Amino acid sequence: MNRKEPSWLKNAVFYQIYPQSFCDSNGDGIGDIQGIISKLDYIKDTGFNAIWLNPIYESPFKDAGYDVSDYYKVAPRYGTNEDLRQLFAEAKKRGIRVILDIVAGHTSTEHEWFKASCKAEKNKYSNYYIWNEDWLDDSDGLNMINGYAERNGNFAINFFSTQPALNYGFADPDPRKKWQLPTDHPDVQAVGEELRKLMEFWLQQGCDGFRVDLAPSLIKKDKGRKAVIQFWQKFRKIFDEKYPEAALIAEWSYAPQALKAGFHIDFMIFCGTSAYTSLFRNEPERDMFQYIPKKVFYEIDGYDYELKNQNSFFDRGGHGDINQFMTTYLRHYQETKENGYIAMVSSNHDMPRINDNRNALDLELIFAFIMTMPGTPFIYYGDEIGMRNIKGLVSVEGGYTRTQARTPMQWDTTANAGFSTAPASKLYLPIDPDEARPNVQSMLADDNSLLNRFKNILKIRKAHESLQADGDFEFIPVTNAANVLAFIRKSANEKLLMLFAPGADGGEFSFKLDTAQTPTAIRAVNMELSCRDGIATCKTSNSGYGIFKI
Ligand code: GLC
Ligand code: CA
């Protein structure tokens, strides 16, 4: 590959940590940086070599820290900048990279820039945010808050009312609306400079890169996202020149654009119903976000994402259709494989946990899939032990339905599952009330636990170059069986065959395979494979998967 990129990404396996809920070291009921440091050995032993930390900056926490009031300061509840530097150093000792979350598109209303921007008198920060000139209306399609400040205008927000959009300019400003500044306006360029400065600040403190929140949203009225692509390309140049080992990861959800923009990685999540949802979430009665109505047609940049089969591929019923995912995936993969990686995720802080009514076998298949696809896998803390989605919690810090996936990590069988020594009433969120809730300590002691099976899969990935980010990928269509998935991963020296057949009833399927003898199983669960005359036949007795050497 002729591209420049951090060398460690080829074999990176990310663990996403929601700091509030991971490990509380000082008994105040909220997770913190020292808590994370105390668990680095666990993270390493499990097989991860990279961490993505959700925002840890000072914040009034109206959106769990995605509303930053000081980008240069760790929120006191998590510790100090010194603690964070210690985390970088301790992680490094163990060969673990740490990525921070950069909230580039907006700040908190509590940020000093915004407070200054609210003033009637013109000042350096007046144009740092998007303000119209009329206190009554004229939003031009933006989401605006009226009646907040002394200055005569309304400000645009990106998400909640407490998250004013930073002003990176308009790609296509309306000439009649003077408040829509072009992207080359010096005030707007100053905001871009602030972003560069703060990213460089954290790189110099020792972090290994960033996950950029809402990365494509920065420039307004940007048809086809051309302007924001150029914007990020400039950042990539700085990375290539000054920080070639630092990773740029987008929350963009459209890899062809994100990777063109210079990001090394983008997540395969919200690309309509044919991506993450079609694999893990579609069900006749619900969708991945409870507020997205079913049977939607998405159109993103000319591509239609249509929900055709409402059974997700990895449902235990085994009635899904892998083509729904593959059609989109293959197009994205072909378009991007020379430029970076698509990330498969187990879940994240914005969606229900992957263990939403699943059993260990269901989860094992999903982990094996995530770990054997090209690109970079991301596992959300606790998914590796099968932590459950906890429905019905009252929203905390702007979580709303997302709160269900943000409960404390379950470490052992002591009070508060070992998360914190605080009284239960003081915890950031309650522990899963189920007495049979999984925990790390008990699972480590059981060879057959989900956690140990997960670790085995990671070991297999680590031992086989073809399974890592850059290994070639070849999809094998299985005629007459859309509910199974077959593909080949290949590197210079090896060729592996992957088979996935969710479906508790088991079954049989065949496909063409050009090999003289039956491939040997590296790991086969509920699955038998045999080959004759160029035809492979696979029998399963329950949901099954296999990793075979050809
Ligand atoms: C991203 C984050 C989400 C946050 C939002 C606004 O989507 O993942 O948690 O609420 O951006 O910053
Ligand atoms: Ca704490």
Closest atom of ligand 1 relative to the 106 alpha carbon? 12
> What value does the mean pLDDT take over residues 7-28?
98
270 falls in which pLDDT band (50, 70, 90)?
low
Q: For residue 26, report the distance from its CA to the centre of ligand 2, in Å.
A: 5
Q: What is the pLDDT of residue 288?
A: 44
Closest atom of ligand 1 relative to the 349 alpha carbon? 9
Q: Whose CA is nearest to atom 9 of ligand 1?
A: 350
Q: What is the pLDDT of residue 283?
A: 58
Q: For residue 66, report the distance from its CA to the centre of ligand 1, in Å.
A: 6
Q: What is the pLDDT of residue 232?
A: 98
pLDDT surpassing 80 at residue 164: yes
Ligand nearest to the CA of 399: 1
Cα(152)–Cα(377) distance, rounded to whole angstroms? 48
> What value does the mean pLDDT take over residues 144-156?
96
> What value does the mean pLDDT take over residues 117-135?
96
294 falls in which pLDDT band (50, 70, 90)?
very low
> What value does the mean pLDDT take over residues 489-506?
96
Half-sphere exposure of 460 (CA within 13 A, CB side): 24
pLDDT surpassing 50 at residue 154: yes
> What value does the mean pLDDT take over residues 351-366?
95
Q: What is the pLDDT of residue 290?
A: 43
- How far from 292 is each of 140, 273, 282, 295, 389, CA to CA, in Å? 25, 10, 11, 9, 18
Task: Give the CATH superfamily of 472-549.
Answer: Golgi alpha-mannosidase II (2.60.40.1180)
Cα-based angle 354, 360, 366 (whole degrees, multiple of 5) = 50
Ligand nearest to the CA of 27: 2
Q: For residue 55, report the distance from its CA to the centre of ligand 2, in Å.
A: 15
516 falls in which pLDDT band (50, 70, 90)?
confident
Cα(422)–Cα(104) distance, rounded to whole angstroms? 34
Among 159, 254, 270, 404, name the best residue to mutate to test ligand 1's pocket (greatest count of ligand atoms within 8 A of Cβ). Answer: 159
Cα(199)–Cα(224) distance, rounded to whole angstroms? 26
Closest atom of ligand 1 relative to the 103 alpha carbon? 12
Token duo for residue 36: 């994370």
Closest atom of ligand 1 relative to the 158 alpha carbon? 6
Q: For residue 159, report the distance from its CA to the centre of ligand 1, in Å.
A: 8
> What value does the mean pLDDT take over residues 153-182?
97
Specify whether the backbone of 302 is left (phi greater than 0), alpha (psi in -120 to 50) or beta.
left
Bigger pLDDT: 397 or 133? 397
Residues within a 6 A CB radius of ligand 1: 63, 66, 103, 159, 213-214, 251, 349-350
**3-state DSSP call for residue 228?**
helix
Q: What is the pLDDT of residue 304?
A: 47
Query: Which residue blocks in 108-185 are alpha helix, DSSP H?
Result: 112-117
Q: For residue 29, report the distance from its CA to the centre of ligand 2, in Å.
A: 6
Q: For residue 213, report the distance from its CA to the centre of ligand 1, in Å.
A: 6
Q: What is the pLDDT of residue 371?
A: 98
Q: Whose CA is nearest to atom 3 of ligand 1?
A: 350
Cα(378)–Cα(469) distance, rounded to whole angstroms? 12
Q: What's at 267, amino acid-wise? A: F
Provide the percentage of residues in the chain whose pLDDT is more than 90.
86
Cα(164)–Cα(157) distance, rounded to whole angstroms? 4
173 closest CA partner among 124, 223, 113, 123: 223
Q: Whose CA is nearest to atom 4 of ligand 1?
A: 66
Q: What is the pLDDT of residue 282?
A: 66
Cα(295)–Cα(273) distance, rounded to whole angstroms? 9
Closest atom of ligand 1 relative to the 160 alpha carbon? 6
pLDDT surpassing 60 at residue 302: no
> What value does the mean pLDDT take over residues 251-260?
94
pLDDT surpassing 70 at residue 344: yes
Closest atom of ligand 1 relative to the 63 alpha carbon? 10
Q: Whose CA is nearest to atom 2 of ligand 1?
A: 213
Q: Sort 266 into a burial class: Cβ within 10 Å, 0-12 / 13-18 / 19+.
A: buried
> What value does the mean pLDDT take over residues 274-281?
84
- For 203-251, write each residue's pLDDT tens digit: 999 999 999 999 999 999 999 999 999 999 999 999 999 999 999 999 9
pLDDT surpassing 80 at residue 309: no
Q: What is the pLDDT of residue 291?
A: 38
pLDDT surpassing 80 at residue 292: no
Architecture of the domain delimited by 7-108+189-463: Alpha-Beta Barrel (3.20)
- For 435-450, write each residue's pLDDT tens digit: 999 999 999 999 999 9
Strand partners, 485: 500
Ligand nearest to the CA of 217: 1
pLDDT surpassing 70 at residue 293: no
Ligand nearest to the CA of 59: 1
CB distance 52 to 17 below 8 Å: yes
pTM: 0.95
Q: What is the pLDDT of residue 308?
A: 54
Q: What's at 190, amino acid-wise? A: A
Strand partners, 341: 265
Give residue limits of the domains in the chain: 7-108+189-463, 109-167, 472-549
Output b/e per residue, 53-91; b: 16+ Cβ within 10 A. Answer: bbbbbbbbbbbbbbbbbbbeebbebbbeeebbebbbebb
Token duo for residue 220: 């307004």
Cα(220)–Cα(169) distance, rounded to whole angstroms? 6
- For 31-46, write each residue's pLDDT tens digit: 999 999 999 999 999 9
> What value does the mean pLDDT take over residues 86-115?
98
Q: What is the pLDDT of residue 271?
A: 58
Give the end-to-end CA distance of the chain in Å, rounded to a whole number.
25
Ligand nearest to the CA of 83: 2
311 falls in which pLDDT band (50, 70, 90)?
confident
Q: Going by CATH, does the domain composed of 109-167 fall within 3.90.420.10?
A: no
Q: What is the pLDDT of residue 278?
A: 87
